[in-house]
Amino acid sequence: MNPWQDFTNAESLSQEHVPLLRPDDFFASVDKLLTSTRAVAYFARPLGDSQELTAVFADDAANRLLTARTLVTETQIPQLSDRHPQLHRYERELAEYGLLSAPNLPRLRRPPLVGDSEEFHPVPGEDVHEVAVGPVHAGVIEPGHFRFQCRGETVYRLEIALGYQHRGLEAAWEGGPNARTRHYAETLAGDTTIAHTSAYARVLEALSGTRVPLRAEALRALGLELERLANHVGDLGALASDTGYLPTASFCGRIRGDFLNLTALVCGNRFGRGWVIPGGVAFDLDKPRAAELLKRLDVLTKETTDAVNLLWSTSSVLARMEHIGTLTREQALTLGLVGPAARACGLVRDVRFDQPVGMYRFQQIPVSTYDTGDVFSRTYVRWLEIQKSLTFVHDLVKNLPSGALSAPVGALKPNHLAVALEEAWRGEAAHAAWTSSDGKLARYKVIDPSFHNWTALEWALKGQEISDFPLCNKSFNLSYCGHDL
């Protein structure tokens, strides 16, 4: 019998209900479970003289989560990423905390590079040359370092070094909740504010036994879909720009702003700051505001459709996108990809469908997939999702449930674990927290969707021309700050 505890998204468990396994049993069952489930969280916290390792896996087919923990006293744990590459970044993170020491695992958040190649894995050979890019990039984007090993124009290997955005967020959560903790959730990835703040709120609600009113859940879903719409539309514009097709680039750049303004219509801020609070939402959508939102949404639906459909009828755009940066379905499964990048490889994987919480338990949204796994696929899946989100938002606003906007959040239960997942526009945003014996946050773990997907970009570049990098990069559009925390 599997000793792991099963539970659902946004549920809390007391410490005694999270099975404590002997290290051997724990790692053996991790190895076994990962053949049929995927890792949602795999993190440690100090407990006395030892480290407590907690694993949370998702059994998407059963719409359940699984968890267990173990106590590790040695500085060495078995490296399972050799067999399960989806654990790779988790293990590097553990190595960074000094728990898992393995010489071949580089640290996840590296210090600044001063042109030192030794940290990277060079490709031997006379004709091979290295290209170093970053941390400061050409456009207005976040910092990260890319190291290409090329022969001619062909990329043999790409390594991505991150960590430049590290602000010490997880540690800052400890001892909370306090006046700042909600703002940490809002700013851990500023383009994913609603998703991360909702996940944070759900963790607190699960830990305090708070029931969120249905109207608040509906308004959270509205915020989450508007966030998705703005970012997906912006991405389509950026992808058009990188294929050299300026009409859609210009139109979508502007339309994205109008979607951000829809968010501002509700909460005053273009990025959804202040919209979600623990217990519910801070802003209501009154009748005149709902009418205004629907009116603007109708205009935007038409404008977006016109602008985006130009892409699919322009052969130069399609030629640039097809068969570039291709990942197979097997690679997506192996890496534990999430979000549009996973769905573009044909995986039916979406928190709103697999592990639904809040409004998504009542109003379903179809999972949009495409199966070619290339830049085109990742672009097209975004368009499919835009259309589904537009319909969803329309129906949602027309049939908003009545009721309160929030419920009071009481004290947190001591010695509990809570896990909350949200389908952010990039994919699964996971928050997990352990409380201490005095009901404070003892360990707070955030897994931004980018954490799973950065490796996919490295893999997608294998064998590509180096000039395809910007386009491939844009097709993933991953978060640096969400990864670096």
User: Which spans of this chain sit near another protein (rule: CB under 8 A)?
Assistant: 109, 111-112, 114, 135-136, 138-143, 163-169, 172, 179-180, 183-184, 186-191, 193, 247, 250-251, 253-254, 257, 261, 264-271, 273-274, 282-283, 303, 306-307, 310, 313-314, 479-481
Nearer to another protein, 123 or 466 (CB): 466
Nearer to another protein, 181 or 475 (CB): 181
Nearer to another protein, 176 or 356 (CB): 176
Output phi, psi for 46, to 5 deg.
-70, 135
C-beta separation of 249 from 237 below 8 A: yes
Nearer to another protein, 110 or 329 (CB): 110
Question: Smallest distance from the beta carbon of 221 to another protein, in angstroms?
Answer: 19
Nearer to another protein, 7 or 164 (CB): 164
Nearer to another protein, 268 or 463 (CB): 268
Beta bridge partners of 306: none
CA 322 to chain centre: 25
How far from 370 is each of 236, 366, 380, 424, 461, CA to CA, in Å? 16, 13, 8, 19, 20
Nearer to another protein, 43 or 251 (CB): 251
Question: Smallest distance from the beta carbon of 265 to another protein, in angstroms?
Answer: 5
Question: Smallest distance from the beta carbon of 109 to another protein, in angstroms?
Answer: 7
Nearer to another protein, 48 or 288 (CB): 288
Question: Smallest distance from the beta carbon of 135 to another protein, in angstroms?
Answer: 5
C-beta separation of 153 from 466 below 8 A: yes
Measure the CA–CA gap between 327 and 339, rounded to whole angstroms: 14
Residues in Cβ contact with 330 at an 8 Å cutoff, skipping those fewer than 6 apart: none
Measure the CA–CA gap between 199 and 220, rounded to whole angstroms: 11
Nearer to another protein, 87 or 308 (CB): 308
Measure the CA–CA gap between 253 and 249, rounded to whole angstroms: 6
Question: Smallest distance from the beta carbon of 387 to another protein, in angstroms?
Answer: 18
C-beta separation of 127 from 151 below 8 A: yes
Residues in Cβ contact with 139 at an 8 Å cutoff, skipping those fewer than 6 apart: none
Question: Smallest distance from the beta carbon of 28 to another protein, in angstroms?
Answer: 36
C-beta separation of 109 from 170 below 8 A: no
3-class secondary-structure state, position 287: helix
Question: Smallest distance from the beta carbon of 200 to another protein, in angstroms?
Answer: 13
Question: Smallest distance from the beta carbon of 282 to another protein, in angstroms?
Answer: 8
Measure the CA–CA gap between 320 and 357, rounded to whole angstroms: 38
3-class secondary-structure state, position 402: coil
Question: Smallest distance from the beta carbon of 234 to another protein, in angstroms?
Answer: 8
Measure the CA–CA gap between 255 and 9, rounded to whole angstroms: 34
**Rounded (to 5) percent helix, strand, coil in the chain:** 45, 20, 35
Question: Smallest distance from the beta carbon of 199 to another protein, in angstroms?
Answer: 15
Nearer to another protein, 270 or 329 (CB): 270
Nearer to another protein, 39 or 185 (CB): 185
Nearer to another protein, 34 or 262 (CB): 262
Q: What does DSSP assign to residue 62?
A: G
C-beta separation of 412 from 205 below 8 A: no
Helices 469-476 & 214-242, crossing angle to 10 degrees? 170
Closest C-alpha to 484, from 93, 42, 44: 93
Q: What does DSSP assign to residue 406?
A: B
Nearer to another protein, 82 or 298 (CB): 298
Question: Smallest distance from the beta carbon of 100 to another protein, in angstroms?
Answer: 22
Q: What is the DSSP string of 72-112?
A: E-SS-----TTT-GGGHHHHHHHHHTTSS--TT---SBPPP
Evaluate the omega torsion of the peptide bond into residue 449 and state whether it is cis, within 30 degrees of 0. Answer: no
Q: What does DSSP assign to residue 332?
A: H
Residue with tokens 């989450």: 224
Question: Smallest distance from the beta carbon of 275 to another protein, in angstroms?
Answer: 10
Question: Smallest distance from the beta carbon of 310 to another protein, in angstroms?
Answer: 6
What stretches of 329-442 show up as alpha helix (H) in DSSP? 329-335, 339-343, 351-354, 375-398
Closest C-alpha to 205, from 182, 179, 225: 182
